[in-house]
Amino acid sequence: MVATPIGNLEDITLRALRVLKEADLIAAEDTRHSRILLSAYKIKTPLISLHEHNEKERSALIISRIKGGMNVAYISDAGTPCISDPGSHLVSFALENKISVIPVPGPSALIAALCVCGFPVDQFLFCGFLPPKEKKRRQFLESIQAEEKTMVFYESPSRIADMLQDICSVLGDRQIVIARELTKVFEEIKRGRISDILSQVSSGNAKGEFTVILQGTVYKPVLLTDDEIQEKLLRLWTERSISLRDAVADVVRQTGLSRKRVYDMAVKVRPVRD
């Protein structure tokens, strides 16, 4: 599984070039697109297509070629295969047939955007493409309202404005980063409130795939006395049968108070179980 440039052809790794040259066959999401890269580096390895519409059938053919002794490399149109791209069925089928699957890492729009977003990225939630229908899209957004991690989405130019409107409506006017045409000539990275960014992309002239990075939910600390913290904990244990750890996490999430303070209160008042 070979990662290829998301725009700038210079981003190909030396290992990827060697693997593509030495392979007996290259399976590609779009052979016409891939020939541009291969021609630039004078790679003449035979090509076969494997995309979302033929992946299951074509995977069987590729596995049979591998069993016949071929070394096959797979590349998607840009970036890392399987990351919102085809390839996962091929990998699964290969593993079922006890065929070794080797990653050849490289470019990814997800990682490229995260490293320049300015939000905490020690943990993040990657959501890929949101549902295209408004109702399902909003339902999904409602399910992540309480998410504190930085969130990452992919979106097409035709839906970016609708997507941002729904995020703003459901999750609030948060800080956001949108990256477009990463590593290409017209690379563009915008930062600001959703409402500010929305006014710049709602004209219908948006072009290029978007990587959208959204600030997680930020809880401002609530001023509570020790007695009030203990009351919240006791209410949780009365209403729900949950562990001390979960009760502490719930109160910390609701209040933004330090975990140590809440934990110390929980130890003092936790009920004795029979």
pLDDT at res. 28: 97
Q: Are residues 32 and 129 in the same domain?
A: no
Q: What CA–CA distance (Å, rounded) separates 100 from 92?
A: 11
254: in domain: yes
Token pair in block for residue 200: 């710049």
Report the SS3 class of residue 210: strand
78: in domain: yes
Looking only at the bridges linking them, the beta strands covering 25-28 and 72-75 are parallel
pLDDT at res. 47: 97
pLDDT at res. 202: 64
**Final residue of a structural domain among 50, 72, 96:** 96
Q: What CA–CA distance (Å, rounded) separates 255 from 52?
A: 45
Q: Are residues 114 and 88 in the same domain?
A: no
Q: Are residues 39 and 86 in the same domain?
A: yes
| Residues whose CB falls within 8 Å of the CB of residue 89, separated by 6 or more in sequence, listed in order | 55, 56, 59
Backbone φ and ψ for 259, nearest 5 degrees, come out as -65, -35
Tens of pLDDT along the chain (274 residues) come to 999 999 999 999 999 999 999 999 999 999 999 999 999 999 999 999 999 999 999 999 999 999 999 999 999 999 999 999 999 999 999 999 999 999 999 999 999 999 999 999 999 999 999 999 999 999 999 999 889 899 999 999 999 999 999 999 999 999 999 999 999 999 999 999 999 998 888 655 667 889 999 999 877 767 788 888 888 888 888 877 788 888 888 888 777 788 888 899 898 888 765 4
72: in domain: yes
CATH number of the domain enclosing 195? 3.30.950.10
Sign of the CA dihedral running 42, 46, 49, 55: negative
Backbone φ and ψ for 4, nearest 5 degrees, come out as -125, 165
Q: Are residues 61 and 120 in the same domain?
A: no
Q: Are residues 88 and 23 in the same domain?
A: yes
**Final residue of a structural domain among 41, 72, 96:** 96
135: in domain: yes
- Among 29, 68, 25, 20, smallest CA distance to 47 is for 25
Q: Are residues 117 and 149 in the same domain?
A: yes
Q: Are residues 92 and 127 in the same domain?
A: no
Q: Are residues 58 and 118 in the same domain?
A: no
Structural domains in the chain (count): 3
C-beta atoms surrounding 74 within 10 Å: 26
Domain that holds residue 121: 109-214
Q: What CA–CA distance (Å, rounded) separates 68 from 47?
A: 17
Q: Are residues 85 and 44 in the same domain?
A: yes
Sign of the CA dihedral running 48, 51, 53, 54: positive
DSSP helix, strand, coil percent of the chain (3-state; round to 5): 45, 15, 40
253: in domain: yes
Q: Are residues 204 and 230 in the same domain?
A: no
Q: What is the DSSP letter of 4?
A: B
166: in domain: yes
C-beta of residue 272 within 8 angstroms of C-beta of residue 234: no
Q: Are residues 80 and 123 in the same domain?
A: no
192: in domain: yes
Report the SS3 class of residue 190: strand
pLDDT at res. 201: 82
Q: Are residues 27 and 87 in the same domain?
A: yes
CATH number of the domain enclosing 32? 3.40.1010.10
86: in domain: yes
pLDDT at res. 274: 41
